[in-house]
Structure 1
Amino acid sequence: MLVEVLLHTRIDGLGAEGDLVKVKSGYAHNFLLPKRMATIATMATKHHIELLRKRRAEREAAEFQAAQELASRLQKLKLVFTLASGSEEQEKVFGAVTAQNIADRLKDEGIELDRKKIRMDRPLKELRAYSLSIDLHPDVTAQLSVELVPPAEKAKGKEAKAKGETRKKSSPRKAKSSAASDREDHSADASE
């Protein structure tokens, strides 16, 4: 047996406040009514529907505005994560960045966000820049820039190695030129 009830709060999978829905009698009498989440729909409660719909519209407008402001903040933000990596030849990364890591970093930035709103197919494991979508509202999606970088000493080591290779390439020339100048000095000594 179905009963028509007026919802006072949003219930996922059922409806939002102000909606008239039909539910099973047991669900209404054992769950919705005792928790004051709904009332039985009668002629007297029909006028209450308009008040609830007005509140709902105001709440949804405020949520939409807040989501747009948060989206603009997130699009200006760039998160940088430092991950340990293996040898310089392999570029193997130890660890990964998950949605929970991103949510924690956003919390440090002063932005409270549920990790389930961050769209990620799998954890981030490559040292590069990413652009992630974040669902803030059914009508608002933000883009967040995330970059994974190696530790600072690895980056310095790569720069030093690159400089060392250029020095090594130039140092054999110096050795040859100094050896040639030594021979010239000895030949000049021998001629005197």
Structure 2
Amino acid sequence: MVDLSRFESNLDQTYSEAILSIQENNDHILLETLPSAIVKLAGHLKSKKGFLFNTLIDITAIDFPAREQRFDIVYHFLSMTENQRCRVTTSIADGEEISSITSVFECANWFEREIFDLFGIKFTSHPDLRRILTDYGFEGHPLRKDFPTTGFLEVRYDEVEKRVVYEPTALTQGYRDFDFLSPWDNPHVYTDTEQKNKNK
């Protein structure tokens, strides 16, 4: 069981305005903070006695297109000393930049590059912010909700030209929208057989 009162008391008063919420869920500490405080907070969680979250497990992002603060950036920390996990979440708008935490955790380098590549979120003060999973000339960011499932370009090796070529995506069949009501989600939707049986 997490002692949230002890956790809160160990946080410096300087974070009182930056921390938006502290909760506990499944023995994990959940923090929500302002993006401007992420570097100092990561350093505090890493080195302060009572925390010692000196392992950065992962950083990821979540896209919420309908929100003004479109992206959540989620940091997962582990304290082996305290046998405790902490998830820190911060929100930014589309086009807004956030500070890199590579100065605190060097392993954040590739995590932040992955987020930049797949979501287009830029990390200021990152030592080498470039694509890590997609090709150098790739257009767009594949994990954004507004990225088309077909992509923008098709990549193939041309045997005649003996090189990789980029072409506009050519689909052999038209795009089909499968957004329809499922009979398992809505009890009022029946199959033809069920409807006939009901009418008998």
Larger strand share, 1 or 2: 2
Larger radius of gyration: 1
TM-score normalised to structure 1 length = 0.25
TM-score normalised to structure 2 length = 0.24
